[in-house]
Amino acid sequence: MLIPPGTVAVDPGLDLFAEIDRLRRELNAVILAHYYQEPDIQDVADFVGDSLALSQKAAAADAEVIVFAGVHFMAETAKILNPHKQVLLPDLEAGCSLADGCPPDRFAAFLARYPGHKVVSYINCSAATKAQSDVICTSSNAVKIVASFPADQPLVFAPDRFLGAWVARQLGRDLVLWPGSCEVHEVFSEKALVGLKVAHPQAKVAAHPECPEAVLQHADYVGSTTGILEFARRTDAPAVIVVTEPGILHQMRKESPGKELIPVPGADESCSCNECPYMKKNTLQKLYLCMRDRTPQVTVDPAIAARALVPIRRMLELSR
Ligand code: 13P
Ligand code: SF4
């Protein structure tokens, strides 16, 4: 059999679940996973959550090693919170279009155009962008974090213009928006969503605020991945149309077993572009290998980490 270049051969007879469990004990490791990870990874993790809950878990972790089954900015945040711990990421190329679309040097030039503004940055950005921010937010606390500033305080919100615009609409407040977007959430098809609403008139729509306004206007609920899971549990509706990455359906099926869960496709219905290609870079095998070999590790320049820690801590304090 031909093995594709870059693929590491692992004995196909190996019980990866048992091996990961053994390594977890051997390393004194905690495995944190995001809801967009593949089902096997979610099932083997110690904790599955949204970005806020994962950063809270990382901040409170007493394990010696943090294995982060998510994307790079999440693992980087865990490292900033735990500079003396090893933080492992199954695939270092698990990035994020929002983080990639806000290079720190261009962000610094952008901020120079807005003197007197405070800076609220979505956690989906690099450590060097966080280091230029006054406070970090996630999709579950963005409204609360922005509202913590006096109404007359001018604010820059980065890097997600759709989340920023949604927060601005909730609060009736102007925000200067960095022009970034999530390549997954920006392509959800409004046309397909409307078609699904017509086909399932009993269904409620739950959407992530990274979606454009044209999609969000059809939603009964807008919130983080944890918020969407809670909404699906709570609603009396027999069906929920889900406008976020379909990895979340694994936990939704467990938590809301009686409900029909309907994922919305991306604009090109023939592709799987509603799946995050970065989150899906991690596999159960790569999770096992990163624990076995203790690599790849996430590192952050100590000077940048020290500056980025301040706005991350501020977010954690405001979210208590
Ligand atoms: P949550 O914080 O809602 O889990 O979102 C993370 C993310 O990357 C959404 O695309
Ligand atoms: Fe980034 Fe979008 Fe993937 Fe979330 S879904 S990690 S925002 S690219």
**pTM for the structure as a whole:** 0.96
- The amino acid occupying position 54 is L
What is the arrangement of strands in the sheet containing 29-34, beginning at the earlier edge strand? 47-49, 29-34, 65-69, 86-88
- Computed on alpha carbons and rounded to an integer, the radius of gyration of the chain in Å comes to 20
Q: What are the CA-CA distances from residue 46 to residues 29, 30, 295 (Å)?
A: 9, 6, 20
Q: Do 116 and 291 touch, CB atoms closer than 8 A?
A: no
Query: What is the model's pLDDT at position 290?
Result: 98
Determine the distance separating the centroid of ligand 2 and the alpha carbon of 196, expressed in angstroms.
24
Query: What is the model's pLDDT at position 267?
Result: 74
Determine the distance separating the centroid of ligand 1 and the alpha carbon of 11, expressed in angstroms.
34
Computed from CA positions of residues 143, 149, 151, 153, in that sequence, does the dihedral angle turn out positive or negative? negative
Query: What is the model's pLDDT at position 269?
Result: 66
Look at the chain and count its residues: 320
Query: Per-residue pLDDT tens for 163-195?
Result: 999 999 999 999 999 999 999 999 998 999 999
pLDDT (tens, 9 = 90+) of the chain, 320 residues, equals 455 555 667 999 999 999 999 999 999 999 999 999 999 999 999 999 999 999 999 999 999 999 999 999 999 999 999 999 999 999 999 999 999 999 999 999 999 999 999 999 999 999 999 999 999 999 999 999 999 999 999 999 999 999 999 999 999 999 999 999 999 999 998 999 999 999 999 999 999 999 999 999 999 999 999 999 999 999 999 999 999 999 999 999 999 999 999 999 887 766 667 999 999 999 999 999 999 999 999 999 999 999 999 999 999 999 98
Query: What is the model's pLDDT at position 7?
Result: 64
In order of their start, the domains of the chain are 16-94+279-300 (3.40.50.10800), 98-181+306-318 (3.40.50.10800), 185-263 (3.40.50.10800)
DSSP string, 279-293: GGG--HHHHHHHHHH
Query: What is the model's pLDDT at position 292?
Result: 98
Q: What are the CA-CA distances from residue 88 to residues 70, 93, 119, 264, 307 (Å)?
A: 10, 13, 29, 32, 22
Query: What is the model's pLDDT at position 126?
Result: 98
Determine the distance separating the centroid of ligand 1 and the alpha carbon of 26, expressed in angstroms.
31
Candidate from 124, 144, 249 with most ligand 1 atoms within 8 A of CB, to mutate:
124
Residue 156 structure tokens: 């820059």
CA distance 278 to 108: 26
Residue whose Cα lies nearest atom 3 of ligand 1: it is 224
Neighbours of 26 (CB within 10 A): 11
**Shortest-distance ligand to the CA of residue 209:** 1
Query: What is the model's pLDDT at position 238?
Result: 98
User: Which atom of ligand 1 is nearest the CA belonging to 245?
Assistant: 10
Residue carrying the six token digits 């998510």: 70
The rounded Cα 315 to chain-centroid distance in angstroms is 16
Query: Per-residue pLDDT tens for 20-67?
Result: 999 999 999 999 999 999 999 999 999 999 999 999 999 999 999 999
User: Which atom of ligand 1 is nearest the CA belonging to 184?
Assistant: 10
Name every protein residue with a CB atom under 6 angstroms from any ligand 1 atom: 50-51, 124, 138-139, 182, 208, 210, 224-225
